[in-house]
């Protein structure tokens, strides 16, 4: 896996699936950055721009430009495998 690959987890404080995604990525040895859209207005704006305003909920995971909604383990595994 390339060092320059960036995995961003857009999350909120109350989201249980967000916590599960972060734990899962850590257990897989994947480096990730969290952007809390509740606490960080810039992160919220960035996410809305990426989604074209079509917000469906959290978590939203950006794996090197591939946007994943929710904690869909097979899709997440495929995305991090293709890095």
CA dist 43 and 28 (Å) reads: 25
Domain boundaries, the chain: 7-81
Fold of domain 7-81:
Glutaredoxin (3.40.30)
Dihedral sign computed on CA atoms, order 56, 14, 83, 64: positive
Size of the chain in residues? 83
pLDDT at site 2: 45
- Tens of pLDDT along the chain (83 residues) come to 445 558 999 999 999 999 999 999 999 999 999 999 999 999 999 999 999 988 889 999 999 999 999 999 999 999 999 77
Tokens 């995971």 -> residue: 61
d(CA 10, CA 59): 6
| 27 burial type by CB count under 10 A (0-12 exposed, 13-18 middle, 19+ buried) | exposed
């Amino acid at each position: 896996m390339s060092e320059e690959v960036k995995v961003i987890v857009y999350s909120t404080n109350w989201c249980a699936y967000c916590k599960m995604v972060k734990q899962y990525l850590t257990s897989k040895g994947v480096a990730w950055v969290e952007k809390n859209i509740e606490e960080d207005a810039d992160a919220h704006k960035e996410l809305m721009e990426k989604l074209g305003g079509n917000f469906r909920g959290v978590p939203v995971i950006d794996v090197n430009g591939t946007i994943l909604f929710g904690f869909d383990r097979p899709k997440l595994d495929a995305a991090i495998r293709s890095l």
